[in-house]
Amino acid sequence: MNRDEILEQARKCVCGDREQDYGTPESNFSNIAKLWSAYKDFEFTPKDVAVMMTLMKIARIKSNNPKDDNWVDACGYLACGGEIESNDNKPKPKY
pLDDT tens profile 55-77: 999 999 999 888 999 999 999 99
With beta carbons less than 8 A apart as the criterion, state whether 61 and 74 touch: yes
What pLDDT was estimated at residue 65? 86
| 30/70 Cα distance (integer angstroms) | 22
Q: What is the pLDDT of residue 43?
A: 97
Sheet strands (E) in 3-83: none
Cβ count within 10 A of residue 73: 20
Model pLDDT for residues 14-55, shown as the tens digit of each residue: 888 877 788 888 999 999 999 999 999 999 999 999 999 999
pTM for the full predicted model: 0.86
